[in-house]
Structure 1
Amino acid sequence: MNKKILTQAHKLFTDDGIHDTFLDDVKIYTTSKYDPLSPFIYDVCLILVLQGKKIGHLGDNKLIYDSKNYLVVPTTLPLECETYASKEEPFIGLIISIDKKVMYEIIDNISKKEFIDSKKNSLGVFSDNVNNKIEELTFNLLEILQSKEESTILGTSILKELFYRVAVGNNSKFLYKMFLNNNKEAKIARALKIIHTECESNLNIATLARQEDMSVASFHTHFKQITSHTPLQYIKKIRLTKGKDLIAKQHYQVIDAAYEMGYDSASQFSRDFKNYFGYPPKEVKPTI
């Protein structure tokens, strides 16, 4: 991203953290220190990095998103992310929620693309190159975010064009698949939403598959292609990540977080937690 963009961005924050803007769907995230590999849950969003770099891991897959590459997460997914930043060059990124209705409209009206089924396009997240159009729209977005009036009047049209540019990007084939209701990818996306909403429940994989008119075998195959995990591995990962948030952000006791996330035993929760994060839940540091 160019210097004009960074100049506009610096007007929107004064310190590290996640900052709201005049548009509900747009937030700016900044940090001036390196963050080691940590789990995050992304929910249908576009991430534009203005400065610095993140490396996201989904299973054995690695995605780099920086000032030259944006990240698109077309379904709810957990990523393990590493953030590269320093006081001299802080990480600055825009997190933009993708309006599903707007994206459906764009994909419905856009000239049809050929969908090529390959391993390259099966993962439920992708990065793409920042081109001149994306840079121009990023600058325009940051400029209107300085004003509530301009954000209210112009924000929707700028975001719609931004989503369009993403939809015609070089790596956007998977985005199309996610938004075509009868595709296997779209079916898995709906199942993922249920898992994230009801992860503490006793979810039944056969029931999830049946709800999308899929066989259990097909559900397992496509689920792993998109998330890099089996359904049961994925559910455990989401429970542990949300359990960690309960302890850190809402100051839950370990036993309460375990039961809240559907565990019958706090000791089992602690074992799974340590296996996943590398340290026991009692060592989680609360955040204010």
Structure 2
Amino acid sequence: MPTQSPADPLPRKTLTAMQTELAEAIDRRTVGREHCTTAIKSLSLSRRESVTEPCACVVEPSLVIVVQGAKQLLIGDHAYAYDTEHFLVTSLDLPASSQVLEASPDKPLLGLVLKLDLSLIAELISQARLPSPGKCSAEASVGLGRISPTLLEACSRLMALLDEPADIPVLAPLVKREIHYKLLKSDLAARLWQIASMSGQRQRIARAIDWLKTNYAEPLHTAELAAHVQMSTSSLHHYFRQLTAKSPLQYQKWLRLREARRLMLNEDMDAAGAAFQVGYESPSQFSREYSRLFGAPPKRDIEGLRQTGDTRAVA
């Protein structure tokens, strides 16, 4: 009888058992909470007990794994569905919407998010002398990969460290390094190479995003931003929209409105004060654009958030 090669995928039942074990570990740490930070920097856990409508969010460069249930990430006109078969990788700070597709109180959606260390990915590529996987076929900043037992096993060991807090400073960096390495061996290798190199237009757009995040309250002169990142104005618009599904001006507006929402909810600032704080000169324009993004005028939206205790969109 032929034996299974170590390189062969493990049986599906083994993968399912690993997901069940990981789901139990996430479940006991998230009871009563939808989002849970952990003692391991860059690792957070999520739980949802019902399907949802799309909810505005910001997506950092991350690995997202669901071990029970299903979600999708909406960026522009594109939907990226992920579940127990697929993981999600994002490479830029993106305005997006997150939607729970499968969840119930008896079987909640359970998952984890690990922020990616792009410098570590680049270091591993160089140190391990990994062969180039070839060009990535798409310029999008989001990719879907197929879940593997080896990736889940490393994530399980990272989760297990939460029960041994004294070991976290020594062992967590090693396990996170292994997870990044496993990603470079996955079917998203080409995209991760592209992310790590941050070459060409992607690097310039990342620099433009960093500038906007720091200077969102300042008037935006697109030609000056293009010169700052060494691009033509037309190229900046083209690649910025391709990678983020927004123009630079739309991205700045999104940053302003999210910060204004945070100021009103967490610092009790009134709408006019928040509007001026984030760079708006016209309170009426602020109210119109706020309502368009969040579905309600500022005062009604903030009252609704306080009644429900839902602070996901302003975290």
Fold similarity call, TM over 0.5: yes
2 CA distance for matches of 1:87 and 1:271? 37
Residue 113 of structure 1 is matched in structure 2 by 132
Partner amino acid for 1:210? A
How far does the alpha carbon of each residue in 1:27-82 deviate from its partner, in whole angstroms, 9 at most, with x for none?
11222233321110122221111222221111101111222221112111111111
Query: What's the CA shift for 1:10?
Result: 2.7
1:24 to 30, 41, 47: 41
1:184-263 alignment to 2 at 5 Å? 184-263=201-280
Gaps of 5+ in 2: 1-15
Residue 281 of structure 1 is matched in structure 2 by 298
Residue 10 of structure 1 is matched in structure 2 by 27
1 CA distance for matches of 2:21 and 2:121? 28
1:97 to 97, 100, 115: 115
- In the alignment of these two chains, the number of paired residues is 286
1 CA distance for matches of 2:185 and 2:214? 31
Partner amino acid for 1:101? S
1 CA distance for matches of 2:75 and 2:206? 16
Query: What's the CA shift for 1:232?
Result: 1.4
Is residue 140 of structure 2 the alignment partner of residue 123 of structure 1? yes
Is residue 74 of structure 2 the alignment partner of residue 57 of structure 1? yes
Partner amino acid for 1:266? P
Q: Which has the larger radius of gyration?
A: 2
Query: What's the CA shift for 1:115?
Result: 4.4
RMSD: 2.0
**Partners of 2:23 and 2:111 within 8 A in 1:** no
- The TM-score normalised by the length of structure 1 is 0.91
Identity level (%): 24
Higher deviation after alignment, 172-181 or 217-226: 172-181
- Specify whether residues 34 and 242 from structure 1 end up closer, same or farther in structure 2 by C-alpha distance, changes over 3 A only: farther
2 CA distance for matches of 1:31 and 1:250? 27
Partner amino acid for 1:70? F
Query: What's the CA shift for 1:169?
Result: 2.4
**Partners of 2:133 and 2:189 within 8 A in 1:** no
1 CA distance for matches of 2:29 and 2:92? 28
**Partners of 1:177 and 1:186 within 8 A in 2:** no
Query: What's the CA shift for 1:112?
Result: 4.1
**Partners of 1:11 and 1:146 within 8 A in 2:** no
Gaps of 5+ in 1: none
Q: What SS class does the counterpart of residue 145 from structure 1 fall into?
A: helix
- The TM-score normalised by the length of structure 2 is 0.83
**Partners of 1:123 and 1:228 within 8 A in 2:** no
Q: What SS class does the counterpart of residue 236 from structure 1 fall into?
A: helix
